[in-house]
Amino acid sequence: MVLKNLLENKEFIILDGAMGTMLQANGLEAGGIPEELSITRPELLKKIHRSYIEAGSDLIYANTFGANSYKLEESKYSVEEIVSEAIKVAKEAARGTDTLVALDIGPIGQLLEPTGSLSFEEAYEIFSRTVKAGKDADVIVFETMTDLYELKAGLLAAKENSNKPVICTMTFEQNMRTFIGCEVSSMALTLEGLGADAIGINCSLGPAELEPVVKELSKWTTLPIVVKPNAGLPDPETNLYNVTPVQFAEQMKNLVKYGVKIFGGCCGTTPDFIRETVNILKSERYVKNCPEIPSAVCTPSTTVVIDSPRIIGERINPTGKKVFKAALINHDIDYILSQAIEQTEAGAEILDVNVGLPDINEKEMMITAIKAIQGVTDVPLQIDSTVPEVLENALRIYNGKPIVNSVNGEKKSIEAVLPLVKKYGAAVVGLTLDENGIPKKAEDRVEIAKRILDAALKIGIRKEDVYIDCLTLTASAEQEGVMETVKALYRVKHELGLKTVLGVSNISFGLPNRELINSTFLSVALANGLDLPIINPNIPAMSGAVRAFRLLSNADKNSEEYISIYGGEPNAPQPKKIVKDENMTLDHAIEKGLRAECTRITEALLENMDSMDVVNNEIIPALDIAGTRFEKGEIFLPQLIQTAGAAQACFEVIKQKLAKSGDNRVSKGKIILATVKGDIHDIGKNIVKVLLENYGYQVIDLGRDVDYQKVVDAAIENDVHLVGLSALMTTTLDSMEKTIELLRKNNVDCKIMVGGAVLTPEYAMKIGADFYAKDAKESVDIAKKVLG
Amino acid sequence: MKLEHLRKDEAIRYLGYGENKPDDNILNLLDACERELLQVIVPEYIYKIFDIEKIDREKEKVTFKDCALELTGKDITAHLKGCERAVFMACTVSAGVDKLLRITQLKDMTKAFVMDSLASAAIEQVCDMAQEEIMKNTKGYGTWRFSCGYGDLPIECQKLFVTVLDAQKRIGLNVTESYLLTPTKSVTAVFGLSKEKIEKKRLGCESCNMKDKCEFRKRGERCGS
């Protein structure tokens, strides 16, 4: 019997109930390793499995929930020993029956980046090891997952290291989200896309409390739905659950109508719960669930349904942007992130990410950029590259369901890109061009769109996941082509019934008052059926046109969104007004932390003053005064940082001016900063960074939890002579010592300064640092000493 | 549990102001941070009560009934002296706070620093409220809270502590390989329960890892616990 047969032949599939509850009842102490019992007390395990089989389970979970290399670190048994024994014991219990045995996989026990320190790739490796060890199981189950990213790593590991069917269940709270903030819709879109065989919900609540979650799930998936709830809610003191087996079964029966096919029990349930559930379901019929799932993309916390025009932000793209190019070359990820945040705050609902530049490793940069961006925004991403290898690597590490930008009508492109879209469950942009270029006539572009759609359907990509770009031509060069694009768009939308996407800004290239042309063209395109305009959302006329269209097309019901943005918020608390002073000097503006003033005054100063004079005679002295006052205890750290932030505004003006003239004098030298391996508290390091940058140093920020070798490599590669290391916890001081050791061993010609809450000057010297910085201000003094 | 306000006065202390009053700018930032934090904070806590099996003064070890975790060191041994039971608890303000802090650091470092302090105050607030709720449902007198890594109680016990409470499943609390809690604004702690009234000993500065360089101490203040 395999799972497929069960799904086809049985009305309902019955899972088992709790394992932990049964083990605790049999004397497992709190904090003991339950997986070891498969080896030390196999008869107990067999007894529990048999009791579930006798109660009517079709599929039992082997005792492997925590059998991963992290949780078993302190066990005397290996992952392989524990997993194979657990499955053997379960198989022996099932002998002579049709009951299947699942390799049961729970969360690793560590949070993934960016909140935790475990990388996606490490999670994949941990899961792969457990999957391989479970080769004798019939089915693979992931359960009690709260992090969709971790589950994606697991599902990929299962799919790529076995050919077994995979069931995925996640744990939701009463607010309809998991602890990590994952929505039901995002879970369904992502997991169905990645090829799970059944998906559902387990643990946390009883069947009655989970009803809204199950109902929501039924709207978002065509897969068989799994429900494995707790026996109600636990009493915090006694840890006993409040639902009886009969009540549990009644509540489970109530979930049949949502298309649930697979039923089981989690914490607090026993064979009696399963038996009652089997009994009650005997008189029920499976209700196949077949909702119409809309075009939608997602991150774990946000699902964007393309049921009205949605703004795709175009700004993460180096084409024609000097500052962006420089940021890519200098690995300045914070710059890219600030672009992401600026656009989402301006109204972008999806962000296009393009980091292609001839001189950089696009694959590495794309992975770094996507990981960083998804740590700070909730909006889905559109992965923009012409290189299939870059697309695949980005698709792997993307958290949710993205858009791939793009495939085109060429055979080569279709064959390289569409299988990736299918494997990773993404949506895709199809460009209406092929080996012969962009057709002049609308009907030929519609023809290519059709070709792309057919190829997509053939390999199982849903029609709803194909978005067509009919390609904007520049009005100044091909004026007669503008309306052909609009015509093609209209036909793709209304004849082929596909969603449409269009890069709008190119239309005005080479013309004056580009904004006027862009916003007018945007309105025309929207009226003809554009769903996904790719625009610069920071320009109010552009995002405004989309919002106005949503209102006029009756998508923004009661003009709610429009009014919330343009109607003012009378109830929002107003910050105290700071009186604007025309005679204010730069040092005063810096001291008071007035960024806007700093920008204005710096611009004015630069009209008659050399950039470096502004830096050396105006900005640095003002910072020095603040530094001295901080040391004397007259001002406090927040004010010092504020001063630095204001100076940053000055530097931005100066940098822009210098970038225009190709001058790079502003840098006083390069400094590497890193929060050491194992440490994830990086606010201290970031404060130091702001201060150093505003004294004119170029900071190469390696981030947090940084490998020893990475520091060495970066120092050598960038010829850096001052390295700053930060550690907050006593447990990570050891990493600091090891980083210093490795720098010294490699004879890196650099001074090392260290800082962090638990560090002392004595300890700093003991581990071989050159300087101990007691606070952010002192790191500046050290930099002056070392680099001048 | 719901937080209505955050303890801004605590945050001001963490920011290093001592008895000084921050300027309007920082006070405005505190207000803004409070509003933003209250929108993302999801306070969660979980606890289990264990009978103390033995407090071994000689071996400096406390063992609990039906519990795989032993707590070691002279500080915890002294701390639980006279108690029959102990409450293991874990609290968090949840992962949304970490994300908000990440975003704010990119936008405005001053604000991020202020927000970080306020979030630290928030998790202490959650701990206080949790302890209060627990004590309401529990007979006896409680000691102060004591955490892994305080004094000579090794931080390495963090991992098992979280496992014992099943905190990963129940409140989404995890431990990294270097024994840091994630979400980062989280606390695990143990406090003793006694039938008899016990003298609440302050956690003296002597058992603190920061005692040699503590800014509070230099000014003759205390950090709060």
Whether pLDDT at A71 is above 50 = yes
Q: Residue with structure tokens 């209700």?
A: A287
Of the candidates A180, A116, A111, A118, the residue with the CA atom closest to the CA atom of residue B44 = A180
Cis peptide preceding A476, ω within 30 of 0: no
Q: Which of A23, A145, A179 to mutate to test the interface with B (most CBs of B within 10 A)?
A: A179
Is A31 in the B-facing interface, judged by CB distances under 8 Å? Answer: yes
Q: Do B109 and A376 touch (CB under 8 A)?
A: no
Chain A residues in contact with B149 by the CB 8 A cut-off are 730-731
Task: Please name the residue of chain B whose CA is at the shortest distance from the CA of residue A110.
Answer: B174
| Under 8 Å between Cβ of A21 and A267 | yes
Give the model confidence (pLDDT) of A105-122 as tens digits.
999 999 999 888 899 999
Residue B210 near residue A757, CB atoms below 8 Å: yes
Residues 751-780 of A with CB under 8 A from B: 757-758, 760
Q: Would you call B101 an interface residue with chain A, using a CB distance cutoff of 8 Å? A: yes
pLDDT > 70: percent of chain A: 97
- Share above pLDDT 70 across residues of chain B, in percent, rounded to a whole number: 92
For chain A, the 3-state helix, strand and coil shares in percent, each to the nearest 5, are 50, 15, 40
Q: What is the pLDDT of residues A511-535, one digit of tens each?
A: 999 999 999 999 999 999 999 999 9
The CA distance from A54 to A94, in Å, is: 10
In the Cβ-directed half-sphere of A29, how many Cα atoms lie within 13 Å?
A: 14
A735 touches chain B (CB under 8 A): yes
A593/B contact by beta carbon, under 8 A: yes
Strands of the sheet containing B71-72, edge to edge, are B71-72, B61-64, B44-56, B85-92, B186-194, B141-142
Q: Which two tokens stand for residue A558?
A: 């009661």
A311-320 confidence digits (pLDDT tens): 999 999 999 8
Specify the pLDDT at position B216.
72
Question: What is the Cα–Cα distance from B84 to B74, expressed in whole angstroms?
Answer: 18
What is the rounded average pLDDT for all residues in chain A? 93
Does the A296-562 domain belong in CATH 3.30.870.10? no
Check if A296-562 and A586-661 are the same fold. Answer: no
In the prediction, which pLDDT does A726 show? 94
Domains in chain B: boundaries? 8-195
CA dihedral sign of residues A326, A330, A333, A338: negative
Q: Per-residue pLDDT tens for A433-479?
A: 999 999 999 999 999 999 999 999 999 999 999 999 999 999 999 99
Residue A662 buriedness (CB in 10 A; 0-12 / 13-18 / 19+): exposed
Pick from A31, A641, A729: CB nearest B178: A729
Q: Examine the pLDDT at A581 and tell me if it is beyond 80.
A: no
Domain boundaries, chain A: 3-281, 296-562, 586-661, 670-787
In this complex, the residue of B20, B95, B176 whose CB is nearest that of residue A180 is B95
Q: What is the mean pLDDT of residues A615-635?
A: 87
CATH of A670-787, one of 3.40.50.280, 3.30.43.10, 3.90.1140.10, 1.10.3720.10: 3.40.50.280
Q: What is the per-residue pLDDT across A735-772, written as a single tens digit (0 to 9) for each?
A: 999 999 999 999 999 999 999 888 889 999 999 999 99
Q: In the structure, what pLDDT confidence band is assigned to residue A572 with cuts at 50, 70 and 90?
A: very low
Q: Does A144 touch chain B (CB under 8 A)?
A: yes
CB-based contact A261:A291 (threshold 8 Å): no
* Whether the predicted pLDDT of A633 surpasses 90: no
The lowest-confidence range among A170-179, A660-669, B120-129 is A660-669
Give the one of A30, A376, A639 whose C-beta lies nearest to B48's C-beta.
A30
A233 and B CB contact within 8 Å? no
Among A644, A683, A758, whose Cβ lies nearest the Cβ of B112? A683
Q: Which fold does the domain A586-661 belong to in CATH?
A: 1.10.1240
Mean pLDDT of A145-173: 97
Categorize the per-residue pLDDT at A235 as very low, low, confident or very high, splitting at 50, 70 and 90: confident
Tell me the pTM.
0.91
Q: What separation in angstroms does the CA of A153 have from each of A364, A390, A554? A: 19, 18, 41
May I ask the CATH architecture of the domain B8-195?
3-Layer(aba) Sandwich (3.40)
- Touching check for B138 and chain A: CB below 8 Å? yes
CB contact at 8 A, B88 and B138? no
Band of residue A489 on the pLDDT scale cut at 50, 70, 90: very high
Instruction: Give the distance from residue A375's alpha carbon to the nearest chain B alpha carbon, in angstroms.
Output: 7
Q: Give chain B positions within 8 Å (CB) of A681.
A: 180, 184
Q: Tens-of-pLDDT digits for all 225 residues of chain B?
A: 889 999 999 999 999 888 889 988 899 999 999 999 999 999 999 999 999 999 999 999 999 998 999 999 999 999 999 999 999 999 999 999 999 999 999 988 999 999 999 999 999 999 999 999 999 988 889 999 999 988 889 999 999 999 999 999 999 999 998 899 999 999 999 999 999 887 766 566 766 766 776 777 776 776 664
Task: Measure the CA–CA gap between A513 and A410, rounded to whole angstroms.
Answer: 36
- The CATH architecture of the domain made up of A3-281 is Alpha-Beta Barrel (3.20)
% of chain A beyond a pLDDT of 90:
75
Tokens standing for residue B32: 């803004």
Picking from B32, B106, B174, the nearest residue to A110 by CB comes out as: B174
On the question of pLDDT at A724 being above 90, the answer is yes
- CA A774 remoteness from chain centre: 35
| Span A675-693, average pLDDT | 88
